[in-house]
Amino acid sequence: MSDTTDSNGGEGERERVSVPKEIELPRLLDFYELQTEDHTKIHEFYDNLRDGRLTTTQCTDCDAVHYPPRIVCPECTGDDLEYVDLPHEGELFAFSEVRGGLPMGLAEHDVPFVVGVVDLGPVQLSARIDDASYSDLEIGDPVSLKIVEIDGPVDEERVFYRFEPTDVDEGDSR
């Protein structure tokens, strides 16, 4: 290390680097799958979801119900699968709250939010729990399917599922 050029170690003007206030969302930070037939073999799951149905695959050989949907049965390796409807109501099996740590460029105003494991009976799946705060939830709470449309960053109509606490307006208020 006998470099004699001025490295601005202590004196003189230092080069200034900047961090952008906003960044274009790179495709890698888009957590949602591309949902058309060109991009995924489980496009039927998304087609059904777009039509308001939460579905998954069931093996016609061994009757196993999978989640997430598969193209080959993990139980018997059969590939004759059919899409079956899942309940839109379930119970909160576990939950947690995301309070920070989102990558730069993702909506910071979105935190905190709740994520949970929802027990639908045939399967359990993890999902974001909307319209709920961590402190108001309890394991076993009834939750209902909510389908959201995803805005950008691709020019493709995409949807995804979340859950929200089931309205308990009628009768006794818990």
Minimum distance, C-beta of residue 82 to Zn ion, in the bound complex (Å)? 11
Q: Are 125 and 67 in contact (CB under 8 A)?
A: yes
| Binding region for Zn ion (CB under 5 A) out of 61-69, 103-111, 135-143, 155-163 | 61-69
Compare residues 59 and 125 and give the one whose CB is closer to Zn ion: 59
Task: Specify the residue, 48 or 57, whose C-beta has the smaller distance to Zn ion.
Answer: 57
Q: Which of 23, 76, 84, 168 binds Zn ion (CB under 5 A)?
A: 76
State how far the Cα of 50 lies from the Cα of 168, in Å rounded to an integer.
26
Closest CB to Zn ion among residues 44, 130: 44
Distance of CA 30 to the CA centre of its chain: 10
Q: Closer to Zn ion by CB, 76 or 104: give it.
A: 76
Q: Say whether residue 81 binds Zn ion (CB under 5 A).
A: no
Token pair listed for 151: 């805005």
SS3 sequence of 4-54: CCCCCCCCCCCCCCCCCCCCCCCHHHCCCCCCCCCCCCCHHHHHHHHCCCC
Which stretches of the chain bind Zn ion, using CB under 5 A? 59, 61-62, 64, 73, 75-76, 78
